[in-house]
């Protein structure tokens, strides 16, 4: 509302006006004042404002109405029967009469409504912001001047929108008609001629090569590679065939497709899926194979229907699994629809959820037809070869589960208020309905809907059960041999003859290593502080970051470990840690460690759950552990119980709260340096007694008692194996024959054998029980199962056998549909068919007849090469997005892309081979007229300089230092690790984001079709002060130095100066891709001389120079 003083100041020369205002009613005061002021501003009474000379309808009025009014008063919608999309229709008006009175703004309803108070203003507050004063002034002037408009103006038809027009694949390629010239260059030569622009020259070759390497592989070239004189095309092809190319561009598409590792609260999975890295690896591999983009789309949306027994295809459906949300199915499906539309089609289909789309020709019915396509689908975790533990690894994928689910329109988008009067059928938006693919149900093979039918699953399960039998039998045989021949009283302390021994029989698990030689088959080393020296494996860096060696073979459930080592140094805690039961992500484990921390050196049992450590007081015992003194640590684990010995003395008995699912072992120092001398790990014998925390010294069991326990253990293992085999047969029969009579009999037999296995296990537990509590628990279990078995007649065909409970095998895990559900609520056998709906959707999206898909993909690729897209709104190609300036080029590239088999490799080659790509980004020596005519480079007369993304900043530092770990694929790397892997392998979720990457505008998890770019002080601080930048600066300096580093103290001044000059030139060229100019060289020499005069060593001088260069703007900029 305008204050009285403002009104008076504006209208001091109009006494009659003031009298009129005082007579206005209070309710309409503000609206009347605003309307009158607008009218006055267009006439002679306006104060301090030039009157509008001529308001042009085409260039000024129509764009305002289109942006602010067409959504409710245009072709798609006509609120109040009013259309404002042509001059004639504006004059015609709607239900309230004519919208304008020519020459009389104050009497025009249109002006009254756009200047009204918020209750009646147009557009309404919930539909958009009020028109700006200058926009209102233009409309006022246009009405006052007669509201002229073209006489035969035709409202635009939505289906004629430029992005909705099919691409003609039969039209000859312009470049082909011009002797194989690059179509991009042909286009821009024509444009530059039309615009009278003079393009810049090619960039300096070293900068071009640096640009090419960073764009195609995400890694900087070496100095030698920047001197490469081979033809440009050869270098391009080499980089496109590099495995690093797939990694570089996978990260781009992971942005667009919203890659996110799982997260939730504690162990509860709420978003995305575990082990989603399988999808990430599929993206990398697909790009490196140059798989057609059309095929990639089909596999991501419907890989489970296209090739249901091929895990390499099914893993692509991680695109859909990523959208999983535990608490709300509608939120999950809304996200799926929204980002399928934005990622592949460049359409904001989500805007049609609550009502018809305001701007695009998509109705709410269109939206719910798309929902019906996704309505049946669900997410599950399937087993992968080599493990039966889905926590350690599994394949996240989608499948159609709710085959009969019905879709209804949600009134105003509210899932609690569905319109159940009409069932919505699956389909694509009506605008494209003529190109829709037919929906046909797809029958699935047995192994697709019953994972137990897969050979590797049965083998992994039986191998594990048989291993228990073998181990138990060997232990029994050993005890039986002791009856006839007592064991030796002493054990040789000599090291084994071989540095490494791993038992061939996994059931008789044994690992020994004297660490005299490296063995990559036995240990996986993580971190740069490890080395083999003096017959030991040494951690040489005292750090609190994760540096460790992980045992590659999986530990048995019960094991006995002995390790000899020396804590050689450290800062504070000086801890040496043995983690076991460790999950792949290191977020869960149990562990034992020694600490030489004064004043309380100790042995400690502890655990990690969901990344949080717990150090129980009853798991701690003080012992005189010292730096430099060799020691022997032994600990034995059975179930939750651990016993610990230090230098042969029993020191601790402790029970962990549980056993995590992992079976990995890792050794590490925390805040310590350590030398590992030897290690031995073996199965813990069944009969070997362990102390309980509450026990006094427990007397050893007699040999007959141990024999009895071993026999019971073997019986239990054999019964479990028989039960497993019978259950596999029953599950296969149920999957193949349903609930047939044969299946029911096999289920009954499996239930009987399961009960017998439970009985055998209870008998073993009763014999092996170490205290009264365990005995009571085992006795209760034994009594229960014995009672059940006693009630079963000997005839297995008797119906009473069915009274025994049957427990199905759960080798796959369906994602919970609500927090209240449990895994056991779901069937273990999935539907035998799939709806085929997602296949039909994928066929339409990936069809050459689809006008959007290729255009959207090309636009994304172009933007990531040139820094700017051809279509500014990269995820919205709808009616609000005008035809781009270079639509002709976009369409030519889209056609070429499809003609090449949707080959990204072909598209990249075409772009980077162009003159447009290879031009300098500098405006130095630019034509003044060109610079004046196109200062924003809209017509690409030069290249655009771009900032590196966060991942490339970090990876470049590691690559330049020569320490980048180029191993590919596998589980995501925890962000707190001091890993040298490429950045795309870091965990990336709401709860896990690398701090350095976040500072440099990492991908937004919710939506990242185009990364934001910021320049904030924290980025400079990160490159200046982070441990990574300082460590890498030293590594780079060392790498670039000559073998013999001369100092001013040992060489002549001229010699030292020349060496520095050479080093400066090498450093600039290697890090920035260019040689320094004379001023830069002089400044750097003066800097070095100043440090040398102050007594700084030469290598330290070089490190500081490198540190300055990686903080240079030219380092983080792709020129």
Pair type for strands 377-382 and 612-614: unpaired
CATH 2.60.120.560 fits 500-696, yes or no: yes
> What contacts 968, CB < 8 A, 6 or more positions away?
243, 247, 281, 284
∠ CA 463-465-466, rounded to 5°: 65
Report the pLDDT averaged over residues 460-468. Answer: 93
pLDDT at 1019 over 60: yes
Asked if 6 and 34 count as a contact pair (C-beta separation under 8 A), the reply is: no
Two tokens at 368? Answer: 């719910």
Q: Which of 99-108, 511-520, 692-701 has the lowest mean pLDDT?
A: 692-701
- Sequence spans of domains, the chain: 4-155, 451-489+701-829, 500-696, 947-1014, 1027-1118
pLDDT at 1018 over 90: no
pLDDT at 1046 over 80: no
Report the pLDDT averaged over residues 834-859. Answer: 98
Question: Could you read off the pLDDT of 96-117 as tens digits, one per residue?
Answer: 788 888 888 887 888 878 887 8
Two tokens at 917? Answer: 């790509």
> What contacts 193, CB < 8 A, 6 or more positions away?
none
pLDDT at 28 over 60: no
Nearest-CA neighbor of 877 among 989, 969, 1005, 1009?
Answer: 1009
Question: Could you read off the pLDDT of 932-964 as tens digits, one per residue?
Answer: 999 999 999 999 999 999 999 999 999 999 999
Question: Could you read off the pLDDT of 375-414 as tens digits, one per residue?
Answer: 999 999 999 998 888 988 999 999 999 999 999 999 999 9
Q: How far apart are CA 1118 and CA 912, in angstroms?
A: 14
Q: Where are the alpha helices (DSSP H) in 182-291?
A: 183-195, 205-216, 223-226, 232-240, 243-256, 277-288
48 pLDDT band, cuts 50/70/90, is very low
Distance of CA 740 to the CA centre of its chain: 45
φ, ψ for residue 706 (rounded to 5)? Answer: -65, -35
Two tokens at 115? Answer: 């200047």
Distance of CA 553 to the CA centre of its chain: 28
174 pLDDT band, cuts 50/70/90, is low
The mean of the pLDDT values for the chain is: 87
* More confident site: 510 or 699: 510
788 pLDDT band, cuts 50/70/90, is confident
φ, ψ for residue 691 (rounded to 5)? Answer: -80, 145
Report the pLDDT averaged over residues 1039-1050. Answer: 57
Structure letter (DSSP) for residue 986: B
Strand ranges for 479-547 from DSSP E? 500-502, 510-513, 523-526, 530-533, 536-539
Q: What is the DSSP secondary-structure string of 216-237?
A: HTSSPPPHHHHT--S-HHHHHH
- Helix H or strand E segment including 460: helix 455-484
> What contacts 1095, CB < 8 A, 6 or more positions away?
none
Range 1023-1030 contact pairs with CB under 8 angstroms and sequence separation of 24 or more: 1023/953, 1023/1110, 1023/1111, 1023/1116, 1024/1107, 1024/1111, 1026/996, 1028/954, 1028/957, 1028/996, 1029/957, 1029/1107, 1029/1110, 1029/1111, 1030/1107
Q: How far apart are CA 582 and CA 974, in angstroms?
A: 13
Report the pLDDT averaged over residues 669-676. Answer: 92
Q: What is the DSSP secondary-structure string of 91-151?
A: HH-BTTB-S--TT-GGG-HHHHHHTS-TTT-SS-TTT-PPPPHHHHHHHHHHHHTT----T
Report the pLDDT averaged over residues 428-436. Answer: 94
1050 pLDDT band, cuts 50/70/90, is very low
What is the pLDDT, as a whole number, of residue 504? 38
995 pLDDT band, cuts 50/70/90, is confident
Nearest-CA neighbor of 638 among 581, 588, 599, 694?
Answer: 581
φ, ψ for residue 1013 (rounded to 5)? Answer: -125, 125
pLDDT at 352 over 50: yes
Q: Which of 49-58, 448-457, 775-784 has the lowest mean pLDDT?
A: 49-58
pLDDT at 678 over 50: yes
pLDDT at 11 over 80: no
177 pLDDT band, cuts 50/70/90, is low
Q: How far apart are CA 64 and CA 67, in angstroms?
A: 5
Q: How far apart are CA 596 and CA 568, in angstroms?
A: 10
pLDDT at 999 over 90: no
Q: What is the DSSP secondary-structure string of 905-952?
A: HHHHHHHHTSHHHHB----TT--HHHHHH-TT-TT-SSPPPEEPPHHH
Q: How far apart are CA 685 and CA 1085, in angstroms?
A: 69
Asked if 8 and 33 count as a contact pair (C-beta separation under 8 A), the reply is: no
- Helix H or strand E segment including 27: none
pLDDT at 245 over 90: yes
pLDDT at 555 over 50: yes
Two tokens at 301? Answer: 């949306």
Report the pLDDT averaged over residues 277-298. Answer: 98
Question: Could you read off the pLDDT of 861-881 as tens digits, one per residue?
Answer: 999 999 999 999 999 999 999
What is the pLDDT, as a whole number, of residue 8? 39
799 pLDDT band, cuts 50/70/90, is low
What is the pLDDT, as a whole number, of residue 528? 78
Range 481-485 contact pairs with CB under 8 angstroms and sequence separation of 24 or more: 482/703, 483/703, 483/707
Two tokens at 459? Answer: 């083998």
What is the pLDDT, as a whole number, of residue 73? 82
Asked if 452 and 828 count as a contact pair (C-beta separation under 8 A), the reply is: yes
The dihedral formed by the CA atoms of 335, 340, 346 and 349, expressed in degrees to the nearest 10: -50
Nearest-CA neighbor of 1039 among 996, 1085, 1071, 1061?
Answer: 1071
* More confident site: 528 or 723: 723
pLDDT at 88 over 60: yes
> What contacts 778, CB < 8 A, 6 or more positions away?
762, 765, 766, 769
Structure letter (DSSP) for residue 202: B
pLDDT at 818 over 50: yes
1035 pLDDT band, cuts 50/70/90, is very high
pLDDT at 470 over 70: yes
Q: What are the C-alpha distances in Å from 927 to residues 109, 191, 445?
A: 52, 16, 67
16 pLDDT band, cuts 50/70/90, is very low
Two tokens at 960? Answer: 């330049």
Taken in order 874, 879, 881, 884, the sign of the CA dihedral is positive
What is the pLDDT, as a whole number, of residue 195? 96
Locate tokens 């999935």: which residue? Answer: 830
64 pLDDT band, cuts 50/70/90, is confident
pLDDT at 44 over 70: no
Instruction: Please state, for a pLDDT cut of 90, what percent of the chain lies above it.
Output: 62
- Helix H or strand E segment including 24: none
Q: Which residues pair with 523 in a beta bridge?
A: 551
Q: What are the C-alpha distances in Å from 10 to residues 4, 13, 33, 342, 474?
A: 10, 8, 11, 49, 103
Report the pLDDT averaged over residues 232-240. Answer: 98
What is the pLDDT, as a whole number, of residue 486? 57
Helices 243-256 and 205-216 cross at an angle (nearest 10°) of 60
Helices 887-899 and 853-866 cross at an angle (nearest 10°) of 110
What is the pLDDT, as a whole number, of residue 1042? 63
7 pLDDT band, cuts 50/70/90, is very low
């Amino acid at each position: 509302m305008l204050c009285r003083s403002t009104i008076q100041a504006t209208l001091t020369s109009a006494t009659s006006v003031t009298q009129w205002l005082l007579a206005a009613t209070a309710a309409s005061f503000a609206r009347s004042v605003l309307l009158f002021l607008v009218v006055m501003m267009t006439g002679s009474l306006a104060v301090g404002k030039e009157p509008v000379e001529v308001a042009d309808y085409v260039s000024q009025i129509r764009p305002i109405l289109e942006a602010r009014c067409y959504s409710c008063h245009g072709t798609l919608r006509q609120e109040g029967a009013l259309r404002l999309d042509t001059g004639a229709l504006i004059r015609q008006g709607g239900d309230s009469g004519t919208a304008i009175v020519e020459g009389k703004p104050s009497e025009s309803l249109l002006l009254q409504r756009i200047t009204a108070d918020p209750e009646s203003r147009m557009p309404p507050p919930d539909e958009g912001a009020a028109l700006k004063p200058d926009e209102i002034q233009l409309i006022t002037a246009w009405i006052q001047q007669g509201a002229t408009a073209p006489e035969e103006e035709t409202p635009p038809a939505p289906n004629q929108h430029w992005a909705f027009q099919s691409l003609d694949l039969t039209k000859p390629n312009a470049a082909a008609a011009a002797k194989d010239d690059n179509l991009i260059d042909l286009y821009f030569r024509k444009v530059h001629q039309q615009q009278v622009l003079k393009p810049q020259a090619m960039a300096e070759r070293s900068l071009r090569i640096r640009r090419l390497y960073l764009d195609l592989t995400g890694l900087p070239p070496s100095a030698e590679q920047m001197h490469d004189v081979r033809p440009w095309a050869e270098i391009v092809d080499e980089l496109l065939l590099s495995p690093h190319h797939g990694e570089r561009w996978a990260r781009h598409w992971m942005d667009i497709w919203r890659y996110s590792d799982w997260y939730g609260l504690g162990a509860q999975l709420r978003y995305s899926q575990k082990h989603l890295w399988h999808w990430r690896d599929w993206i990398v591999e697909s790009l490196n194979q140059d798989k057609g983009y059309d095929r990639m789309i089909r596999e991501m949306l419907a890989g489970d229907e296209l090739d249901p027994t091929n895990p390499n295809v099914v893993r692509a459906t991680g695109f859909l699994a990523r959208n999983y949300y535990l608490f709300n199915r509608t939120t999950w499906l809304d996200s799926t629809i929204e980002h399928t539309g934005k990622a592949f089609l460049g359409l904001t289909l989500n805007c049609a959820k609550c009502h018809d789309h305001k701007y695009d020709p998509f109705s709410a019915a269109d939206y719910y037809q798309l929902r019906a396509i996704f309505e049946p689908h669900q997410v599950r975790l399937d087993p992968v070869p080599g493990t039966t533990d889905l926590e350690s690894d599994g394949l996240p994928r989608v499948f159609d589960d709710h085959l009969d689910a019905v879709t209804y329109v949600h009134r105003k988008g509210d899932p609690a208020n569905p319109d159940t009067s009409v069932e919505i059928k699956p389909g694509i938006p009506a605008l494209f309905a003529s190109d829709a693919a037919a929906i046909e149900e797809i029958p699935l093979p047995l192994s697709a809907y019953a994972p137990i039918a897969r050979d590797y699953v049965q083998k992994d399960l039986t191998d594990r059960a048989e291993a228990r039998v073998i181990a138990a039998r060997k232990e029994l045989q050993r005890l039986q041999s002791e009856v006839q021949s007592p064991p030796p009283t002493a054990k040789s302390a000599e090291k084994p003859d071989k540095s490494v021994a791993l038992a061939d029989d996994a059931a008789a698990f044994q690992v020994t290593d004297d660490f005299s030689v490296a063995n990559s088959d036995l240990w996986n080393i993580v971190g740069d502080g490890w080395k083999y020296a003096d017959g030991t494996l040494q951690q040489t860096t005292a750090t609190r970051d994760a540096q460790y060696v992980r045992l590659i073979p999986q530990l048995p459930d019960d094991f006995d470990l002995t390790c000899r080592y020396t804590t050689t140094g450290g800062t504070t805690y000086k801890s040496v840690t043995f983690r076991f039961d460790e999950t792949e992500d290191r977020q869960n484990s149990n562990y034992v460690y020694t600490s030489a921390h004064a004043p309380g050196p100790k042995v400690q049992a502890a655990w990690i759950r969901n990344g949080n450590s717990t150090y129980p007081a009853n798991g701690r015992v003080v012992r005189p552990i010292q730096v430099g003194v060799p020691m022997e640590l032994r600990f034995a684990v059975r179930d939750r119980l651990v016993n610990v010995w230090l230098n042969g003395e029993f020191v601790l008995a402790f029970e962990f709260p549980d056993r995590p699912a992992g079976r990995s072992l890792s050794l590490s120092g925390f805040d310590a340096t350590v030398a590992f001398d030897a290690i031995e790990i073996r199965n813990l014998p069944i009969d070997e007694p362990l102390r309980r925390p509450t026990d006094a010294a427990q007397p050893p069991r007699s040999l007959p008692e141990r024999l009895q326990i071993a026999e019971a253990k073997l019986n239990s293992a054999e019964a479990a194996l028989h039960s497993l085999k019978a259950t596999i047969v029953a599950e296969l029969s149920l999957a193949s024959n349903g609930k047939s009579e044969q299946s029911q009999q096999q289920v009954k037999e499996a239930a009987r054998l399961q009960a017998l296995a439970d009985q055998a296990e209870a008998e073993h537990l009763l014999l092996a029980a170490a205290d009264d509590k365990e005995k009571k628990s085992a006795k209760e279990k034994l009594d229960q199962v014995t009672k059940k078995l006693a009630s079963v007649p000997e005839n297995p065909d008797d119906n009473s056998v069915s009274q025994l409970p049957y427990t199905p095998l759960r080798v796959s895990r369906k994602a919970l549909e609500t927090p209240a559900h449990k895994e056991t609520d779901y069937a273990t056998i999935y539907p035998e068919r799939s709806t085929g709906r997602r296949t039909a959707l994928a066929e339409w999206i990936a069809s050459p007849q689809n006008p959007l898909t290729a255009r959207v993909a090309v636009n994304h690729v172009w933007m990531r090469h040139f820094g700017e897209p051809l279509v500014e709104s990269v995820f919205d190609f709808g009616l609000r997005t005008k035809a781009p300036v270079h639509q002709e080029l976009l369409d030519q590239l889209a056609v070429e892309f499809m003609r090449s088999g949707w080959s990204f490799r072909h598209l990249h080659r075409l772009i980077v081979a162009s003159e447009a790509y290879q031009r300098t980004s500098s405006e130095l020596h630019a034509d003044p007229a060109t610079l004046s005519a196109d200062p924003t480079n809209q017509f690409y007369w030069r290249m655009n300089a771009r900032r590196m993304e966060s991942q490339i900043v970090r990876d470049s530092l590691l690559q330049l230092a020569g320490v980048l770990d180029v191993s590919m694929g596998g589980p995501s790397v925890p962000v707190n690790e001091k890993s040298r892997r490429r950045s795309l392998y870091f965990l990336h979720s709401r709860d896990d984001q690398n701090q350095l990457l976040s500072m440099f505008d990492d991908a937004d998890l919710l939506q990242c079709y185009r990364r934001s770019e910021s320049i904030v002080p924290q980025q400079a601080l990160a490159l200046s002060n982070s441990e990574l930048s300082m460590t890498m600066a030293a590594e780079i300096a060392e790498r670039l130095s000559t073998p013999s580093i001369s100092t001013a103290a040992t060489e002549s001044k001229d010699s030292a100066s020349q060496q520095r000059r050479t080093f400066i030139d090498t450093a600039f060229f290697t890090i920035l891709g260019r040689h320094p100019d004379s001023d830069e060289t002089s400044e750097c020499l003066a800097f070095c001389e100043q440090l040398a005069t102050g007594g700084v060593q030469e290598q330290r001088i070089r490190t500081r120079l490198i540190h300055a260069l990686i903080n240079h703007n030219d380092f983080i900029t792709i020129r």
